Amino acid sequence: MTAHGTFWWNELMTRNTEAAKAFYTAILGWSHETMDVGAGPYVVWKAGDEVVAGMLDINDERFDGAPDNWMSYIAVDDVDAVVAQVAGAGGTVLQPPFDIPTVGRIAMVADASGAVVGLATPAPETRG
């Protein structure tokens, strides 16, 4: 089971998925698979047989102004309860908790310094 407060997932958010595929395949030998997670195609990166990260195409108005970046997600036992503490700790909720079937419940927040991170309560089948 993924422990509360540990980094759980990393995701490349980019507007040029084809260039990213070529780059990470060339320098790391990663392979990739495209799957549908209910909100359109999603790329899963693999090192051998091990899933190591994901990639999201951010060519969408929801991401206007967001730079291409690697996004990290921290596992929490109860994302709704943790998000309720964000403002009191000096942070900002950027996207309230939402569900991704078979993945978990996720929220996006900015910490007190403005750094953005995802918080996630992984679905039982994704906890390792």
Digit-coded pLDDT (tens) for 51-100: 999 999 999 898 888 899 999 999 999 999 999 999 999 999 999 999 98
Beta 69-75 vs 116-122: how paired, if at all?
A: parallel
Report yes or no: 111 and 92 within 8 Å, Cβ to Cβ.
no
Average pLDDT over residues 20-42: 90
Whether domain 7-59+69-126 has CATH 3.30.70.100 = no
